[in-house]
Amino acid sequence: MRRTRGVPARLDHLGDLARKFAWGVRTVGLPEALRGAVRLAALRWRRPERARITLRSGPVLEYAVPAQVAPALVVFRDLIDPEFAFLRAVARPDWLVLDVGAAIGQFTTFAARLPVAHVHAYEPNAANLESLHRNLDLNDVAARVSVHAAALGETEGEVVFEETDNAYLSHLSSTGQGVRVPVHTLDAEVERLGLDRVSVLKVNVAGHEPAALAGGSDLLRGGRADILVLLIGEQSLGAYQQCQQWGYRFFFFHPRRRELHPVTELSTAGLSRRPWPARHVIGVHQGAIDRGLLASVAILDRDHGATVG
């Protein structure tokens, strides 16, 4: 019985890997995709205690093996994060960035290397925190980052956090099993840090994005977070639609064309129509657009097949 149930799951996993590899071949060419596949195969063959990878955007990431191995990251590095190219194009030196669900620091280290003022990183997983601190030191950006060993949610208090063998799948527990960690609301944290405005708010918390955003309703309702970088997930559609009602426009970014593609429909179907593979969708408040935040990139005009910007 167990074996029978496991076969479809393994087939689905292999099919997913095949689709990602086919995308890689189309995007970066067969030689680069093969080099990435060799990197992953070598990692799984040698199984070192820790390994490193240099991202195309510059940071070097160290991670534990196998708990913190992200196959797509090892093979394609940060090609599946087109928001990196977008943020590099529009970054400003007075920016304040919040990374909610920092994990081992892929986004945090990238953001800290931009011409920004400061980055606040939130991560409750102890193993991830260890690698996050290592990577900040490795990239010489620790002075520009404040690390908060906490989760963000809908209410203040403590929650039970379940740490899994795969560190990226660790999550707030629904069974009561795990370690207790502090949880804060986004609104309370912004007030505690004395921030009038957040330039970039990135949220990737293993499916708990709606709770994290609900805890920041005052900030978001007031349009005081200029740019949102949010994990794509069906369970989050209602929260993202609420942000849309509060004045946020949603986009995908094509890094080669330097072009924002508007998301005309915040639905599973709408979010599947991406011009470039991505894990996150980008939200920009209309007030920030009116202030010229997107002046350095183009916005696709879907009605006329042209770009403006």
Q: What is the pLDDT of residues 149-177, one digit of tens each?
A: 999 999 999 888 777 777 676 666 666 67
Instruction: Spell out a b/e string for 142-161, using b for 16 or more CB atoms within 10 Å of the CB, else e.
Output: bebbebbebbbbbeeeebeb
pLDDT band of residue 4 (cuts 50, 70, 90) is: very low
Looking at residue 159, what is its pLDDT? 82
pLDDT band of residue 277 (cuts 50, 70, 90) is: confident
Looking at residue 134, what is its pLDDT? 97
Looking at residue 210, what is its pLDDT? 97
The per-residue pLDDT of the chain, averaged, comes to: 89
Looking at residue 304, what is its pLDDT? 46
Rounded mean pLDDT, 216-233: 97
| pTM, rounded to two decimals | 0.90
AA letter at 43: L
Looking at residue 302, what is its pLDDT? 64
User: Regarding predicted confidence, which is higher, 305 or 102?
Assistant: 102
Strands lying side by side in the sheet with 145-148:
145-148, 118-122, 96-100, 198-203, 225-231, 280-285, 248-254, 259-262, 298-301, 306-308
For residue 16, the surrounding DSSP H or E stretch is helix 2-28
Q: Is the pLDDT of residue 16 over 80?
A: no
CATH of domain 48-308: 3.40.50.150
Rounded mean pLDDT, 206-233: 96
Q: Is the pLDDT of residue 2 over 70?
A: no
